[in-house]
Amino acid sequence: MKSLLLLFFAVLIIFTGCSKKEEVKLTAFSTEAFAYGMGDSSEIDGTTHVKGFKQDQKNNLYSSTLSYDIDLITPKGDTVKSIVSRVVDKFSKEKLSDTQLDTQFNIGTSFIKGKYKLIFRIKDALSGAVTSSTANFEVEN
């Protein structure tokens, strides 16, 4: 009887341990940024991929909301906070494993030649989780 009881508890512990869902952490990855000369200004294009965001399901439609700010670090080390701010609502008939966030903006002649850093600061509106990701690029004109 003792061995049957021990076997029952062992199976119960194994079953509950294996059935727990692994918590997915909000993560940004594969971040890239490029600068293109536009005469007297430069256009900056940036992209990052995000996974681990929460998705609600209603009426066979998955939805998520991600907000992000773009910070720019200049060659002199100065930080331009929130040069771009966006909120993106995603809708899909299937649950998304990841999504892409994009930015595009112009910087004028007040920005010098040199190496810059683009920082994506991302927040999942449904879970409150935050993450960030960076990419380096160079302005040549």
5-24 per-position pLDDT tens digit = 555 555 555 655 555 555 67
Residue that has been written with the tokens 């903006």 in this structure: 105
* pLDDT: which is higher, 45 or 8: 45
Q: What domains can be seen in the chain, in order of their start residue?
A: 25-139 (2.60.40.3880)
CA distance 68 to 13: 41
CA distance 52 to 59: 22
CB contact at 8 A, 134 and 117: yes
Which among 40, 128, 28 has a CA at the least distance from the CA of 70? Answer: 28
CA distance 11 to 55: 33
State the CB neighbour count (10 A cutoff) for residue 55.
Answer: 18
SS3 38: coil
pTM above 0.85, yes or no: no
CB contact at 8 A, 54 and 127: yes
82-106 per-position pLDDT tens digit = 999 999 999 999 999 999 999 999 9
